[in-house]
Structure 1
Amino acid sequence: MKHLAYLSIGGNMGNRQAYLQAALDKLASHPGCQLGLVSNIYETPAWGKTDQADFLNLACQVYTELSAQDFLSICQNIEQELDRVRIEKWGQRTIDLDIIFWDEEKIQEENLIVPHPYAHERAFVLKPLAEIASDYCHPILKKVVSDLLAELGEQKDIKIFK
Structure 2
Amino acid sequence: MYVNTEAAVSTPVLAAGFKSAMSRLASSVTIITTVDSDDRPHGLAATAFSSVSMDPASVLICVNRSASASPIIRKAGIFCVNLLQSEHEHISAVFSRSDMRQQRFVEGDWKTGTHGIRYLADAQAAIFCEVAQEIEHGTHTIIIGNVMNVVLPEIKEPLVYAGGRYRRLYS
Q: Same fold (TM over 0.5)?
A: no
For the pair shown, which has the larger CA radius of gyration, 1 or 2?
A: 2
Q: Which has the higher helix share?
A: 1
| Structure with greater contact order relative to length (CA < 8 Å, sep ≥ 6) | 1
Higher strand share: 2
